[in-house]
């Protein structure tokens, strides 16, 4: 055993608690096997270890981005010797480079691909839900959000449960926020950059003359996602209530994944059709012309629900194989009937200072008609991406790990 006493760096900026210690190691030229203090045995390939080292021949220490090109090595990296050093790190001598590299045990354990159940598991378990009378969105008091400093405990106390609700259920309602026009952007940036569209950085949802969207009228809106007319429609939508004194205009939310699962159970053929047939989504306004073709229900490589694209008022003429037209419309109508079932919807009235954040590629939102001359209804909206909420949540988790490690070291 070598005498190193300080743990080596990791090839990233994260903090990796040591939940189990390395106890024993065995190696062959192309593999190493380690036994942990809790009994787990993990195997790693020599090529994988060499690429994921943290030294300055592998990553740029200033950016933590990889600079190693494996194909430039003199030969396949093999293990001449492997041992546990004095700090508890895995220490490996690679040949033919004649290079000794050390691996942080917490990082190594966290990236144990030999025992990984699902490398693509979501950050927060996804829970589908149904609504019904009396059901409301998960709601949080966010009155101190803009008074907090980015990254401090006060901000985390508000954001962490909100992000968990959005990642898990697709929806969160923050209450008691400022109602000054434009304050939405500062709030949204606590999560990540705002995605501008042809409707602007922020858009005003209120009735107006010569509207370029049904949203900018007082008529009822059916359940839909926004901007399915784009190659990738926005991952998150924020709707911030500044004023609401009208009669009617109740908000409606449905979990599109729950609706899709119900369709799969009740009408498997319709479900399969909607995962296969590519519909035309079009937003042909006076100054823009956005068109995209995609299935209404999209699955990922594992067959899990990834997104829904449902918006009747943004569907253009169906362009598909002749034999698919009638099955496609039969499946569409089966879906439309489900969307009208009260059990899927939650209904609520926006109060000034409310901000609803939801997954626009999962949730469907709708609105009852309102009487335009009965008062004022003014929401401001913006879009972000799913990537931003995942990044922000990972940063919160990283900060928690760093605090935990710091406390353990003290």
pLDDT of residue 132: 81
- For 297-349, the pLDDT digits (tens) are 999 998 999 999 999 999 999 999 999 999 999 999 999 999 999 999 999 99
pLDDT of residue 38: 96
pLDDT of residue 249: 82
Compute the average pLDDT of residues 2-11. 83
Please tell me whether residues 174 and 305 are part of one structural domain.
yes
Residues sharing a CB contact under 8 Å with residue 123, sequence separation 6 or more, in sequence order: 167, 390, 393, 394, 397
Asked if residue 366 belongs to a domain, the reply is yes
Pick the last residue of a domain from 116, 150, 179: 116
Compute the average pLDDT of residues 32-51. 98
Pick the last residue of a domain from 116, 131, 151: 116
pLDDT of residue 134: 79
- The β-bridge partners of 359 are 236
Asked if residue 41 belongs to a domain, the reply is yes
Please tell me whether residues 243 and 327 are part of one structural domain.
yes
Asked if residue 268 belongs to a domain, the reply is yes
- Torsion angle, alpha carbons of 326, 327, 329, 335, to 10: 160
Residue 282 has pLDDT above 80, yes or no: yes
Please tell me whether residues 97 and 40 are part of one structural domain.
yes
Residue 275 has pLDDT above 70, yes or no: yes
Please tell me whether residues 143 and 112 are part of one structural domain.
no
Residue 278 has pLDDT above 90, yes or no: yes
Compute the average pLDDT of residues 225-248. 94
Output the CA torsion sign for 38, 39, 43, 46: positive
Please tell me whether residues 157 and 94 are part of one structural domain.
no
Please tell me whether residues 102 and 162 are part of one structural domain.
no
- For 198-224, the pLDDT digits (tens) are 889 999 988 766 776 777 777 888 999
Asked if residue 143 belongs to a domain, the reply is yes
Structure tokens at 86: 């004095």
Q: In whole angstroms, what separates CA 258 from the centre of its chain?
A: 18
Asked if residue 1 belongs to a domain, the reply is no
Please tell me whether residues 192 and 296 are part of one structural domain.
yes
Residues 250 and 367: beta-carbon distance below 8 Å: yes
CATH of the domain at 320: 3.60.130.10
State the pTM of this model. 0.88
Structure tokens at 302: 């594992």
pLDDT of residue 369: 83
CATH of the domain at 32: 3.30.2020.30
pLDDT of residue 46: 98
Query: What mean pLDDT is reported for the chain?
Result: 93
Compute the average pLDDT of residues 122-146. 91
Asked if residue 134 belongs to a domain, the reply is no
Please tell me whether residues 228 and 327 are part of one structural domain.
yes
């089966």: which residue's tokens? 334
- Please count the structural domains in the chain: 2
Please tell me whether residues 145 and 28 are part of one structural domain.
no
């400093």: which residue's tokens? 149
State how far the Cα of 87 lies from the Cα of 254, in Å rounded to an integer.
52
The pLDDT > 90 percentage for the chain reads 79
Residue 372's pLDDT band, with cuts at 50, 70 and 90, is low
pLDDT of residue 286: 82
Pick the last residue of a domain from 82, 116, 150: 116
Helix or strand run (H / E) with residue 390: helix 386-409
Q: Is residue 135 classed as helix, strand or coil in its secondary structure?
A: coil
Compute the average pLDDT of residues 148-169. 93
pLDDT of residue 288: 87
State how far the Cα of 185 lies from the Cα of 188, in Å rounded to an integer.
5
Asked if residue 298 belongs to a domain, the reply is yes
pLDDT of residue 373: 67
Please tell me whether residues 28 and 167 are part of one structural domain.
no
Asked if residue 402 belongs to a domain, the reply is no
- For 45-60, the pLDDT digits (tens) are 999 999 999 999 999 9
Q: Which domain does 92 fall in, by range?
A: 22-116
pLDDT of residue 28: 97
Residues 30 and 79: beta-carbon distance below 8 Å: yes
Question: Helix/strand/coil (H, E, C) string of 147-168?
Answer: CCCCCCHHHHHHHHHHHHHHHH
Q: Where are the alpha helices (DSSP H) in 209-315?
A: 256-266, 268-276
Please tell me whether residues 344 and 226 are part of one structural domain.
yes
Please tell me whether residues 261 and 324 are part of one structural domain.
yes
Closest by CA position to 103, among listed 61, 48, 60, 65: 48
């Amino acid at each position: 055993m070598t005498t190193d006493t300080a743990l080596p760096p990791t090839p990233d900026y994260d903090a990796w608690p040591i939940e189990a210690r390395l106890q024993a190691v065995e190696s062959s030229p192309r593999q190493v096997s380690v036994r942990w203090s809790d009994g787990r045995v993990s195997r790693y390939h020599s090529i994988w270890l060499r690429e994921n080292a943290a030294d300055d021949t592998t990553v740029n220490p200033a950016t933590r981005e990889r600079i190693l090109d494996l194909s430039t090595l003199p030969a396949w990296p093999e293990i001449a010797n492997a041992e546990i050093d004095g700090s508890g790190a895995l220490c490996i001598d690679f040949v033919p480079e004649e290079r000794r590299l050390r691996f942080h045990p917490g990082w190594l354990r966290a990236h144990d691909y030999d025992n990984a159940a699902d490398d693509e598991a979501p950050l927060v378990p996804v829970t589908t839900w149904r609504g019904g009378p009396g059901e409301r969105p998960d709601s949080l008091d966010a009155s101190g959000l803009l008074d907090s400093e980015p990254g401090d405990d006060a901000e985390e106390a508000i954001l962490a449960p909100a992000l968990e609700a959005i990642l898990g259920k697709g929806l969160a309602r923050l209450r008691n926020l400022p109602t000054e026009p434009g304050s939405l952007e500062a709030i949204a940036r606590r999560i990540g950059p705002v995605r501008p569209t042809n409707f602007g950085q922020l858009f005003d949802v209120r009735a107006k003359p010569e509207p370029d969207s049904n949203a900018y009228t007082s008529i009822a809106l059916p359940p839909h996602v926004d901007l399915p007319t784009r190659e990738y429609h926005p991952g998150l939508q924020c709707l911030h209530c500044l004023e609401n004194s009208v009669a009617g205009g109740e908000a409606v939310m449905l979990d599109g994944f729950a609706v899709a699962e119900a369709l799969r159970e009740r009408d498997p053929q319709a479900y399969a059709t909607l995962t296969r047939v590519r519909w035309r989504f079009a937003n042909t306004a006076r100054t823009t012309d956005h068109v995209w073709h995609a299935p209404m229900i999209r699955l990922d490589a594992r067959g899990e629900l990834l997104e829904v694209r449902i918006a009747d008022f943004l569907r253009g003429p169906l362009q598909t194989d002749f034999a698919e037209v009638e099955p496609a419309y039969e499946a569409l109508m089966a879906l439309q009937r489900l969307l009208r079932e009260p059990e899927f919807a939650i209904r609520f009235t926006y109060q000034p200072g409310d901000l609803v954040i939801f997954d626009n590629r999962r949730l469907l939102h709708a609105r009852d008609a309102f009487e335009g001359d009965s008062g004022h209804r003014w929401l401001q909206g913006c879009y972000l991406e799913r990537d931003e909420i995942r990044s922000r949540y990972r940063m919160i988790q990283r900060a928690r790990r760093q605090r935990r490690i710091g406390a353990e070291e003290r």
